[in-house]
Chain A
Amino acid sequence: MTFLVPLLVLVPLLGAAVALGLLRHQRIQRAITVAVLVVALAVAATLMVLVDQHGTIVVQVGGWDAPYGISLVVDRLSALLLTVSASVLLVVLLFSIGQGLAADDSEAPVTIFYPTYLVLAAGVLDSFIAGDLFNLYVAFEMLLVASYVLITLGGSEQRVRAGTTYIVTSLIASAIFLSAIGLVYGATGTVNIAQISERVAGLPDHVQLLLHTMLLIGFGIKAAVFPLAFWLPDSYPTAPAPVTAVFAGLLTKVGIYAIIRLETVIFPRPQLNEVLLVVAALTMVVGVLGAVSQTDVKRLLSFTLISHIGFMVMGVGLGSVAGTAAAVFYTVHHIVVQTTLFLVSGLMERIGGTTSTRSLGGLLKAAPLLAALYLIPAFNLGGIPPFSGFIGKLGLFRAAAIDGSPLAYVTIGAGVVTSLLTLYALMRVWDAAFWRPKPAAEPAAPHAAVAEPHETLRAPEPAPVTISETDGSVLTGGSVTVTDAASAGRASRPSPGTGEKARLPRMMVGVTTVAVLGSVALTVVAGPLYGYATRAAQSLESPVQYVQAVLGERP
């Protein structure tokens, strides 16, 4: 079944080429893009099962044996992330198609969107299967160049400005990564990850430390770890909602994946683990403090994204099987939930005309379904018990408690504070956008043009204050039952909202509902999933298994 592995990159790239040739035939273009991602998802899911049964799959591209040719490696960690990424890519694509089909939307994707999106998909999937540092670099560049195009899509002034920050930061990260590759090659004479792992132990300590640090900085910028995360909240929020969603879900996680690989296979010695734990704690706290102070939903979500990267780094920094397993599980959870929240913020922007919490309001009456769609992933991200966010955090904290060092306990403390503040920040949005009535007409000037068409439809909704006060008194009862309101919300639409419900394109809402249900499904399958993550972490416990799989048995 080894032929499946290269398909993950080949199919999206070929699809991108075909879609690029069909710029004038949007319908065929859309069909091709969806088909390609469905194939990728099917391949990834098959690989996930196969790898779990038969162990790591290695493909030597072109038949050149391991240290000479390019290896593609799919182990449990790769397979799991491949499957989750492919499904997230597909869901976001359907969302953006829904946005495009809603004809009046100025945010609608232009024709170049689909081919670029496929190149991005190829880059993301390739970076998960690269068994070679240079191939990893090429995969990064592939997804980065695609992301440059996506983030400046439409080329408005604001996006060009935000794009510049993003592009220059990424360029510097790539430059650091490439020079690290050059130095690794100079020191070990190879770029094959398995072979580097074998040879690195023979290097002097200071050389190891230098290479390790350089690679970590390169990946850290991509993963948006605290001192290197300054670029993220400036660039992500200006992009169209689906683009932000897929960036938030996948691009930072590619960096996390690279860090996991780096810490478990390339430099398995616990050389920088304390540094990682300190950085993790700082990322969590600083990120969430940023989130608390924001008044724009998308910026706020970007800051929570940064703070939750800290949880994953924490798991890696513990350097134990339990820690890595929890980090892997948390990564999967976070990909799904963060993407969902950004999709919901896209819907909020569509209905409310803005994402500023100052001018949003009354959305609970206008779109009760949307309220449920927001609340479920928000609780999930904040770590309220039944959800996967809670399970992931519990796993991380337990792994840290087993570790038992003072630093680990400090990190646990930071994690708890972060969870609470995340919940606070997200509930503040809930309060401003959903619970409270629409603030008396004071639309922000720059958004006036956007909000204009919705304004007429919102007119028949005076939203009397007395009603919202009585609503407030049953707050707790409402939020408990709202968990399963995702499906129920559709049936029970209150009469005053019907006029505005028409504003929500059915496909966008449908896809977002699927994403929310998917995030809830993670909770349902949390047991098997956590088991899979643990097995993935066990096969990463010592690099020997990876090395043997790639280079074959050695005497």
Chain B
Amino acid sequence: MTVTLVLVIAMAVLFACGVYLLLERSLTRMLLGFLLLGNALNLLLLVMSGAAGDPPIGKSSEGITDPLPQAFALTAIVITFAVSAFLLALIHRSWTLSRADEVEVDEADVAIRSARGESTDEDDTEVDTDTDTGGTPDDGHERHHEAPTDEREGSR
């Protein structure tokens, strides 16, 4: 089974870009990432079918291209199409509701953070975790500020 190196490289690049975009916070970028990923998957299906052969019409029945992966890719394209249409609608809905195109911070996470840091609202999360383990907020501040100085001393 031989495959074109170009196809494999193209597939790898598409996968990489798709995954990168999916990791973004913006929904539109996630949609673009999903589209790239879908195309990468279609290429994967084609690559897996081996080297391209003759069209199945005409001459002999030997050496024709395997038609099954093409059918897979076609089905996958249709599904990708349906899902992207839905995602677009979702993005539009999210935009009309809140003018935001971003995945919001999870409510439960916010709840946990605020439950921990009731006394120290304005501080960052690291201070909050400190206060959780060790007594008063002031303690947390001190330890938090001490840690970097210790490191500096160590490096000297």
Interface of B (DSSP majority class): helix
**From residue 140 to 161 of chain A, which have CB atoms closer than 8 A to chain B?**
141, 145, 148-149, 152, 155-157, 160-161
In the bound complex, how far is the Cα of B14 from the Cα of A175, in angstroms? 13
In the bound complex, how far is the Cα of B79 from the Cα of A148, in angstroms? 13
A167-203 interface mask toward B, CB cutoff 8 Å, 1 = contact, 0 = none?
1100110010011011101100001000000000000
Q: Is A164 an interface residue when CB atoms closer than 8 A count as contact? A: yes
Judging by beta carbons under 8 Å apart, are B34 and A171 in contact? yes
Q: Is B120 an interface residue when CB atoms closer than 8 A count as contact? A: no
Judging by beta carbons under 8 Å apart, are A161 and B104 in contact? yes
- Taking CB atoms, residues of chain B closer than 8 Å to A182 are 41, 44-45, 47-48, 69, 72
Judging by beta carbons under 8 Å apart, are A160 and B97 in contact? yes
A163 in complex: contacting residue of B45, B48, B90, CB < 8 Å: B90
- Taking CB atoms, residues of chain B closer than 8 Å to A233 are 108
Judging by beta carbons under 8 Å apart, are A141 and B79 in contact? yes
- Taking CB atoms, residues of chain A closer than 8 Å to B86 are 145, 148-149, 167
**From residue 16 to 40 of chain B, which have CB atoms closer than 8 A to chain A?**
22, 27, 30, 34, 37-38
- Taking CB atoms, residues of chain B closer than 8 Å to A156 are 97
Q: Is B83 an interface residue when CB atoms closer than 8 A count as contact? A: yes
Judging by beta carbons under 8 Å apart, are A155 and B93 in contact? yes
A96-140 interface mask toward B, CB cutoff 8 Å, 1 = contact, 0 = none?
000000000000000000000000000000000000001000100
B35-74 interface mask toward A, CB cutoff 8 Å, 1 = contact, 0 = none?
0011001001101111000000000000000001100100
**Beta-carbon nearest neighbor of A134 in chain B:** B72
Judging by beta carbons under 8 Å apart, are A181 and B90 in contact? no
- Taking CB atoms, residues of chain B closer than 8 Å to A134 are 72, 75
**Beta-carbon nearest neighbor of B103 in chain A:** A164
Minimum CB–CB distance for B25 against chain A, Å: 11
- Taking CB atoms, residues of chain A closer than 8 Å to B108 are 233-234, 299
- Taking CB atoms, residues of chain B closer than 8 Å to A152 are 90, 93
Q: Is B12 an interface residue when CB atoms closer than 8 A count as contact? A: no
B104-126 interface mask toward A, CB cutoff 8 Å, 1 = contact, 0 = none?
10111000000000000000000
In the bound complex, how far is the Cα of B94 from the Cα of A176, in angstroms? 27
Known A168-B22, A175-B37: A145·B83 in contact at CB below 8 Å: yes
Known A134-B75, A149-B86: A178·B103 in contact at CB below 8 Å: no
**From residue 291 to 350 of chain A, which have CB atoms closer than 8 A to chain B?**
299
In the bound complex, how far is the Cα of B45 from the Cα of A134, in angstroms? 12
Judging by beta carbons under 8 Å apart, are A167 and B87 in contact? yes
Q: Is B82 an interface residue when CB atoms closer than 8 A count as contact? A: yes
- Taking CB atoms, residues of chain B closer than 8 Å to A138 are 75, 79
A164 in complex: contacting residue of B38, B69, B75, B90, CB < 8 Å: B90
- Taking CB atoms, residues of chain A closer than 8 Å to B44 are 179, 182-183
- Taking CB atoms, residues of chain B closer than 8 Å to A299 are 108
**Beta-carbon nearest neighbor of B84 in chain A:** A171
**Beta-carbon nearest neighbor of A156 in chain B:** B97
B106 in complex: contacting residue of A155, A171, A175, A234, CB < 8 Å: A234
Judging by beta carbons under 8 Å apart, are B69 and A172 in contact? no
In the bound complex, how far is the Cα of B106 from the Cα of A535, in angstroms? 45
Judging by beta carbons under 8 Å apart, are A167 and B90 in contact? yes
- Taking CB atoms, residues of chain A closer than 8 Å to B34 are 171
Judging by beta carbons under 8 Å apart, are A145 and B45 in contact? no
- Taking CB atoms, residues of chain B closer than 8 Å to A165 are 103, 106
In the bound complex, how far is the Cα of B87 from the Cα of A149, in angstroms? 10
- Taking CB atoms, residues of chain B closer than 8 Å to A168 are 22, 30, 103
Minimum CB–CB distance for A172 against chain B, Å: 7
Question: Could you pull out 22 A-B pairs where Cβ atoms are within 8 angstroms?
Answer: A138-B75, A141-B83, A152-B90, A155-B97, A157-B97, A157-B98, A164-B90, A165-B106, A167-B86, A171-B34, A178-B41, A181-B45, A182-B44, A182-B47, A183-B44, A185-B45, A185-B48, A185-B69, A186-B47, A191-B68, A191-B72, A233-B108
Inter-chain pairs besides A155-B93, A185-B48, 18 sampled, C-beta below 8 Å? A134-B75, A141-B79, A145-B86, A157-B98, A160-B97, A161-B104, A172-B22, A175-B38, A175-B41, A179-B41, A182-B47, A185-B72, A186-B47, A186-B49, A191-B68, A233-B108, A234-B108, A299-B108
Show the binding face of B for A, using Cβ within 8 Å.
1, 22, 27, 30, 34, 37-38, 41, 44-45, 47-50, 68-69, 72, 75-76, 79, 82-83, 86-87, 90, 93-94, 97-98, 103-104, 106-108
Give the top 3 A-B pairs by smallest Cβ distance, nearest first.
Answer: A186-B48, A182-B44, A182-B45
